[in-house]
Amino acid sequence: VTRVIAKRSQGYFSKQQRALGELNGHIEEVYTGHKIIKAFSMEEKSLEHFDEINEKLYEAGLKAFFISGTIMPLMNFINNIGFILISTVGGVLAIRNAVTIGDVQAFAQYSKQFTQPIIQTANIANILQATIASAERVFEILDEEEEIPDKKDSEVIEMPRGEVAFQNVDFSYKEEEPLIEDMNMDIKSGQTIAIVGPTGAGKTTIVNLLMRFYEIGGGKITVDGIDTRDMSREHLRNIFGMVLQDTWLFNGTIRENIAYGKQDATEDEIIRASKAAHADYFIRRLPDGYDTMLGEEASNISQGQKQLLTIARAILADPAILILDEATSSVDTRTEIYIQKAMQTLMKGRTSFVIAHRLSTIRDADLILVINEGSIIEKGTHEELLAQKGFYADLYNSQFTGRMRVKGRA
Q: What is the pLDDT of residues 271-309, one digit of tens each?
A: 988 888 888 888 898 888 888 888 766 777 888 888 888
Would you state the pLDDT for residue 405?
A: 47
Q: What are phi and psi of 232, to 5 degrees?
A: -70, 150
Q: Select from 327, 352, 355 the least CA-distant residue to 340.
A: 327
The b-or-e profile of 372-400 (16+ CB within 10 A means b, else e) is bebebebebebeebeeeeebbeebbeeee
Long-range Cβ contact pairs of 267-270 (< 8 A, separation 24 or more):
269/316, 270/312, 270/316
In CATH terms, is domain 2-142 a member of 1.10.357.10? Answer: no
Confidence of residue 222 (pLDDT cuts 50, 70, 90): very high
The whole-number average pLDDT for the span 351-378 is: 79
Instruction: Kindly list the distances between the CA atom of residue 297 and the CA atoms of 1, 149, 288, 330, 332, in Å, as whole numbers in the listed order.
Output: 53, 33, 18, 16, 20
Would you state the pLDDT for residue 328?
A: 53
Who wins on pLDDT, 404 or 40? Answer: 40
Would you state the pLDDT for residue 365?
A: 83
Q: Tell which CATH architecture fits domain 164-409.
A: 3-Layer(aba) Sandwich (3.40)
Radius of gyration of the chain (CA): 33
- Beta partners for residue 242, in sequence order: 323
Question: Is 354 strand, coil or helix?
Answer: strand
| Domain residue ranges in the chain | 2-142, 164-409
Determine how many CB atoms are found less than 10 A away from the CB of residue 198. Answer: 13
CA 364 – CA 345 distance, rounded (Å): 14
Q: Which of 143-147, 292-296, 313-317, 357-361 is predicted least confidently? A: 357-361
pLDDT of 363 over the 70 cut: yes
126: Cβ–Cβ under 8 A, 6 or more apart, which residues?
Answer: 2, 6, 9, 68, 69, 71, 72
Q: What is the pLDDT of residues 233-246, one digit of tens each?
A: 888 888 888 877 77
- Beta partners for residue 241, in sequence order: 322
Would you state the pLDDT for residue 43?
A: 85
Indicate the pTM of the whole model: 0.66
Mean pLDDT (the chain, rounded): 81
Q: What is the pLDDT of residues 381-402, one digit of tens each?
A: 888 888 888 888 887 787 666 5
The whole-number average pLDDT for the span 244-250 is: 76
Q: What is the pLDDT of residues 198-215, one digit of tens each?
A: 777 777 888 888 888 888
CB distance 187 to 163 below 8 Å: yes
Question: Is 300 strand, coil or helix?
Answer: coil
Who wins on pLDDT, 358 or 216? Answer: 216
Confidence of residue 404 (pLDDT cuts 50, 70, 90): very low
Q: Select from 144, 183, 181 the least CA-distant residue to 165.
A: 183
